[in-house]
Amino acid sequence: NAGVTQTPKFRILKIGQSMTLQCAQDMNHNYMYWYRQDPGMGLKLIYYSVGAGITDKGEVPNGYNVSRSTTEDFPLRLELAAPSQTSVYFCASSYSEGREQYFGPGTRLTVT
Amino acid sequence: TQLLEQSPQFLSIQEGENLTVYCNSSSVFSSLQWYRQEPGEGPVLLVTVVTGGEVKKLKRLTFQFGDARKDSSLHITAAQPGDTGLYLCAGVSGSGYALNFGKGTSLLVTP
């Protein structure tokens, strides 16, 4: 099992550009999550999904979009990148609500 | 959002010392999880505590959940350089969909 995989590992964007952060899991988990982590600020939930076709906003969804067409994949889309979106992004999955979350290795994004 | 306050924010100790880090909230959680995150990696679950007053041990790490299920502590005995990392607590509220993370305690253990 690869667990949770994320691509790319690093990315530099110019202001106004768009990109998609990829996330995939092979554990057949229904629940998937996107977090951002800023220095000294912990993990903030951006979006989550409780199954294919079902997504909902977390604490900091502005500037992001998600889709969940399959159980395995949960891409995060950034439209019109802004410097405030410079962060490390983590994707996670869990078997059910409130259970252990398995995290990917993260994507470090810089917007300049 | 139910806030989890972790203290201290930073801790630098020498190998062999003992330490305790804390996770406090004014809210009740149905369970609380502790994760460790190493530089450049995602967090990895250490333990989940569910019952008020519960104590769990993981080798040199001892986790305790407060009787009122509002706080938790992590005690490390005889710390080693391999314990270095960011320790995050995360609480599960009644709604259960997402974890509320604290800001973490960054631990550095030097030889």
Which three-class secondary structure string do you get for B16-85?
Answer: CCCEEEEEECCCCCCEEEEEEECCCCCCEEEEEECCCCCEEEECCEEEEECCCCCEEEEEECCCCHHHCE
Range ranked top by mean pLDDT from A92-106, B50-64, B89-103:
B50-64
How far does the CA of residue A40 sit from the closest CA of chain B (Å)?
Answer: 6
pLDDT score for B79 = 98
Q: How confident is the model at residue B3 (pLDDT cuts 50, 70, 90)?
A: confident
User: Is pLDDT at B50 greater than 70 in this prediction?
Assistant: yes
Best of A4, A6, A30, A37 to substitute, by most chain B Cβ atoms within 10 angstroms, is A37
Q: What is the structure's pLDDT at A41?
A: 83
Residues of A in contact with B102 (CB under 8 A): 42
What digits encode the pLDDT tens for the residues B20-49?
A: 999 999 988 888 999 999 989 999 999 999
Residue of A nearest to B4 (CA): A42
Q: Is B102 on the interface with A (CB under 8 A)?
A: yes
What's the gap in Å between the CA of B91 and the closest CA on chain A? Answer: 9
Min distance B90 CA to chain A CA atoms (Å): 10
Residue A39 — pLDDT band, cuts 50, 70, 90? confident
Domain boundaries, chain B: 5-110
pLDDT at B98: 72
- Residue B107 reports pLDDT greater than 60: yes
Closest CA to A103 of A18, A19, A37: A37
Q: Where are the domains of chain A?
A: 4-97
Instruction: Choose which CATH entry (2.60.40.10, 2.40.50.140, 3.30.465.10, 3.40.1310.30) describes domain B5-110.
Output: 2.60.40.10
- Predicted confidence at residue A16, as pLDDT, reads 97
Per the rule left: phi > 0, alpha: psi between -120 and 50, beta: everything else, B46 is alpha
The SS3 assignment for A7 reads strand
**What CATH number does the domain located at A4-97 have?**
2.60.40.10
pLDDT for position B97: 65
